Structure formats: structure tokens, C-alpha cells
Amino acid sequence: MSSWESSKLNRAGLSGIALIALVLILPYLAGARDLEFEKSIIEKFLPYQKWEKEYRAYFQRHYHDDSLELAPKAIVMHYTASATMTSAYNTFRNGAPYDDGDVGVVFGHLSSHFIIDNDGKIYQILPLSRKCRGAYGVNHVAISIEMAALNEASLLKNRKLINSSHELVRYLAEKYNIPGDKVYGHYQVAKGRKVVPEYTDYGDRRSPDCYPASFGRSDPGERYMTGLWEYLKKNTHNGKR
């Protein structure tokens, strides 16, 4: 082998090594972003263990499955209709009377997996392995995320809150391989099976395929969702809708 050939080989070998190093380091960089992000999430769990009997009965009635274990296949976005997260969190924790379909008004505990406060801080309030009760119709498959905002107009003005929500959904969509067309606004879930094929409700015979008209939802609004879908398209591997 001439010295020219050996130096060519060295160059090829070196660029090969550089390429391998890059391939090895890329997932690490993506993983580092997620690790950093996970550290920013504040844990403030609801006393969900106390609700096991109530939740099993609810999931049996509405989904014909009393398992409380969640394998996330969709994400539902909401706003709290309050300026800060406090009132929403307290209502979840303390429980309230609500309309439970065929059994009428009962006392119980609604919930979500996350609440993002109006300063952009993200609170995780249920484990992701546990079904929540944030968007009936899809609670058997969905992660629910609440954002502290009075309405869509105030949500759209709050850049910190929007940025935190985008980063949280990006992280969850990658973690559970959830495509952009399975990231829903609550207002879409309210329209039922014709918009959201996962919609299931065995426990409300007056309106089995969608929310009753009096339960209509507008949160978090189409403009917010359009911005989120755009973000996911650019920032997740399967964000296309």
C-alpha cells in the first residue's frame, strides 16, 4: 500500500468514525432535551389512590372496562376557564357533583394528567400510567392537559403558556408515538364519534355517540389547536395530520 493510499484510507476511516459518533450522539442529544424537560415538570399528584373504587365503577359504566391502567393513544387539550390553576386543581382534589349519564347527578372526582399554570409552569397531577377523567368519551385512551386560561383569547395572548404546552405535547407525542391527528381539542371530542373515532360511551343512553347539546365544549379553541398542529408537524417525527 502506498503512503498516498494509506492516507486516503485514514481519511475515509476518520470520516467513518465521525459519522458513527454523530449517529450515536444524535439520540443522546434528543434524550438530553427530554431529560432537561422532564426535570422542569413539577409533581403535584391528586389523591387518586383514594378514588380507585369510584374510578373503577365509572370506567366500567362508560367504557365496559374497569381497568385504570392507561396506554396513551391520544392527547386532549383543554383550558380551565379560570385565570390560574388553583380553582381547577382544588375542584379536582375536592370533587364536585356532576352529571354522570344514565345514573344522573352524582358526586365524584374529575381529573387531568397535567395542568399548565398561567406562568407556563407545568404540574403533573396524575401518573401517565393511570386513566384520568378529563374528556369523557376518550378517557380510556387519552392523556388530558389543562391550561390555566379564562378563554381562547386570553390563552392566545399568553406566549409562555403556549410555549410550555407545545413542548409538553411534543414530549408526550414522541414518548408514546402519538401522531398529530390524535392530538385533539376538547371541542372535537364533544362532537363525538364522527370527528373522534375512539369516542366510546356505554353509560349515557340519551347521547351515546357525542356529548348532549347542553354539554357542548369550546375549549381550547380551533386557533390554538391549529398552532399546536403546525408546531407538531415541524417538531415531531410523525406530527403530520
Residues forming the site for Zn ion (CB under 5 A) = 78, 186, 219
Provide the minimum distance between the beta carbon of 39 and Zn ion in the complex, in angstroms, as a whole number: 28
Query: Which CB atom, from 186 or from 191, has the smaller least distance to Zn ion?
Result: 186
| Least Å from the CB of residue 17 to Zn ion | 52
Minimum distance from residue 134 beta carbon to Zn ion (Å): 7
For the four alpha carbons of 61, 215, 109 and 89, in that order, the dihedral sign comes to: positive
Q: Which residue in the shown chain puts its C-beta closest to Zn ion?
A: 78
Of residues 152 and 219, the one with the C-beta less far from Zn ion: 219
% helix, strand, coil for the chain, step of 5:
50, 15, 35
Which residues have CB under 8 Å from 13's CB, separation 6+? none
66: CB partners within 8 A, 6+ apart: 56, 57, 59, 60
C-alpha cell at 15: 470520516
- Cα dist. 6→10, 11, 13, 20, 194 in Å? 6, 9, 10, 21, 66
Q: Please, what is the minimum distance in Å from the beta carbon of residue 185 to Zn ion?
A: 9
* CA distance to 15, 149, 197, 225, 227, per residue, from 221 (Å): 50, 12, 20, 6, 10
In the bound complex, what is the minimum distance in angstroms from residue 217's beta carbon to Zn ion?
6
Question: Which C-beta is closer to Zn ion: that of 85 or that of 174?
Answer: 85
Cβ-based nearer residue to Zn ion, 78 or 140: 78
Q: Closer to Zn ion by CB, 145 or 174: give it.
A: 145
